[in-house]
Chains A and B, each alone.
Chain A
């Protein structure tokens, strides 16, 4: 293999020749300098062929020098892993990168995809539409296996990404996006006028087009002026300069989102910025339009400004013998001057109006054939074609907020509306609104910044004139017959556009989807105007009628890691520990996540199974004493002269007679009459209440209460305070609960008369401040002891120590569930599932008839009070066999198709230790009238059908003697 040609020019360029960087491309070691992009680095090594195209697997090279690059996508591997589909023009070189080409089977130079006959008519526009319709089996049997193997752009690295990412925010008066002449002038003007200014540049240095021009500003070479300006902006205290930062989207109220890519050595690989600005000056410049002619996709065919950039900025010669096809004279002369400086031979200069018949060459362009205006056919050898059909403004970010761009015949472009007509936060300047000449761009940026500051009353209105837009070249190039590409990334040709028109997909949005024009990672940055002009040339529509497709963020691909930021793992869903967490862990607790919480599940003894532990814990509560963590309940302190009125409007039962020191089980309906939540209300004083909310609804009901107090009835005197985290809550339950409470040295009467069921006491246990609530979820005599969270350990130690006398058994969520099912108590999400009326749950009597409350009116709707609704019932296994979860209830056996009419379903099924029997809760049509009947429970998932006997939903101690003590 011959050594790589060295295409680096001996002098010049904004590169640091003292710092050599190593990288590899498809396994070949290469070198470049600090300041190179991957594109200039590859070209310096003579590597033009860098990719295979998506559909036809054509050899592709580097077309541009910016983020508009459609063709040269590669996979880059660094210390964090590999990233596919990076544009070589966007990757700032650092040492040690491994670069690999994509879409090649088996190699870039020899690709089988070309020979699979897929390149022909099979993959023309509408291929996917047609293949899915006909023939029926063709997709699965023939196309899919081949295309799956060949298609796609790169491969995603499946290994975890260990790099850091972050999200941050900034605010400013003036945000300037882009640092070419217009952006630099705008930022300087705003900053010198005293506005807080942020300048964002996607490149790693400021200057944009100034970095490769020979023009001068204020007597200075423009590139030096850019460097001076950069220095001046960095020195100003009211300016933040952000390089390597891509603004990718505009959102409401002056928000721009941008991704800053970290430098080598930065902690964060990328940072997502959310920047709010009072004024956004969009100075994103313009993108050069390729010329459409047969063979225009070959490596070695480049945009004119890219050729200038590689020569002037990177000191790289992209060829040795060039054909120039540049429509605008000024651009043509610039490109020729640059190539002459680089010693590139100019083989031919085509004139607008010439017909380009073809470009040839297998892996690189080697000749161009054309007809001149006299009809003479000419052909010349070359290794570089410099093309330009004109310019397209980069107004994507302007248009993302739904503002339409208007077609402007003089520029052959869609332009943003003029600043004076715009009421937006955003003002496009320079190339982004069709102003092309450097001096005009400088003036435009300055005028826009002055306008912004006058709007802020930072100085008077100067009414500086806004420069006129630059007209498009009067004449372009004609083309011969053959595959002429419009969209390089998606391999869309002129023939595809014509086919879409013929087949009725002429609407711009349909053409896009039918041909894939403008899709992909470049979103048609180089292809869109050419596509539109092609449509114009073959249809009778006007440009304004055709319009443009919708612009959406991101403007250019962004790292998903940066969008995620730090929100991964526990930073995404933090785990909440209750105040008893450590104490329970010391007792051997097995925990489980329940919503945000890590909740105690059960407390196994050595070599004990979960089932055995649950049985032991449940029997301990029923026969002696247990304790359980209730801290996750929502707890709200309610105070105010109207507190009782407030609560009575929100909860459906009547508790107007509730006395201080007493509590009540309460039920809350939604506005539509279905049950929302249950809990308890304790009256601590005349105007002071303590409310509990179920764990699952704690956040939701808190919001709901706040809304009621602030929005619905602001006239009520009521103050809500969430005290969920302030109180740790431990329930002691079992026949000896009162004995334990006495042993804990209370300073209040805990006798049956002094602390009966459904009462609350504020006092002390052994000197610790507590609130003791006589409530029972287990059905046993039980007290919920609330203690300030910081004393949780002390309370648990006391309870465990004094509870030894009754062999106190800590229990968790599993046993809690067993005990409540035995009692037929409700659980949020299982029985109270958002579709149940109070009557469905057997709580119809709780609805007060004496007052109004939220949900009352709509709970009386005919369908909600009609007969035949499913009602909560209990079920017992007739054969005493385990009951399959979530089985459906029916009066009939499954028919031969495995079907039966469902009359309801199970919500919970367990083995009941105290009854030594399998039991379940469920909903059954007219269930309460069916007590004593036998029904089928079918579980197709478990493959089981068993017979169950319908009972009351309360299996255990229905008279309630036990919890009253």
Chain B
């Protein structure tokens, strides 16, 4: 039961959040749509081969029980220690 610090709501219980998995950066959306083969490999890499380190992992959590914003944190998968890397914004 993690204690996750939301930039809007402060430290809150994990039960208020739902897990969004590792933070993934989608391939460039304004790339030439004709380059299907490259795009397919890029998307495949990003979607299916997510990082799963034993150590720090940048991941996202949805604060559905609070401000309904997504929070980005770095969680160490070995000991669950968390550091916030918040460049977040309300939207």
**Footprint of B on A, CB under 8 Å?**
169, 251-255, 274, 276, 649, 671-672, 702-703, 706-707, 709-714, 718-720, 722, 849-854, 856-858, 860-861
Contact = CB atoms under 8 A, between A and B. Distances in A.
A695 to B, nearest CB: 18
Contacts of B70: 706-707, 710-711
Contacts of B13: 169, 274
Contacts, number: 83
B31 interface: yes
Contact of A860 (B3, B36, B69): B36
A254 B1 CA distance: 9
B39 A710 contact: no
Contacts of A274: 1, 13
Nearest to B62: A703
Nearest to B13: A274
B29 A252 contact: no
6 contacts: A274-B1, A671-B26, A671-B47, A707-B60, A852-B31, A857-B36
B31 A253 contact: no
A712 B26 contact: yes
B72 A711 contact: yes
Given A711-B23, A857-B42, 8 more contacts: A253-B80, A649-B29, A706-B62, A707-B20, A853-B29, A856-B33, A857-B43, A858-B40
A856 B39 contact: yes
A851 B3 contact: no
B62 A860 contact: no
A254 B3 contact: yes
Main secondary structure of the interface of A (DSSP, over half): mixed
A849 B31 CA distance: 13
B11 to A, nearest CB: 8
A484 B47 CA distance: 59
Given A671-B43, A707-B20, A854-B26, A849 B33 contact: yes
Q: Which of B1, B2, B18, B69 has the most CB of A within 10 A?
A: B1
Interface in B40-80: 40, 42-44, 47, 60, 62, 64, 68-70, 72, 80
Contact of B3 (A252, A709, A713, A852): A252
A857 B1 contact: no
A338 B38 CA distance: 84
B89 A852 contact: no
A709 B91 contact: yes
Q: Which of B13, B20, B43, B62 has the most CB of A within 10 A?
A: B43
Contact of A706 (B23, B30, B91): B91
A722 B30 CA distance: 27
Contacts of B64: 703
A707 B47 CA distance: 15
A958 B14 CA distance: 51
B47 to A, nearest CB: 5
Contacts of A718: 91
Contacts of A861: 40
Q: Which of A252, A718, A851 has the most CB of B within 10 A?
A: A252
A276 B27 CA distance: 41
A714 B73 CA distance: 16
Nearest to A251: B1
A706 B68 contact: yes
A275 B62 CA distance: 23
B26 A253 contact: no
Contacts of A858: 40, 43-44, 47
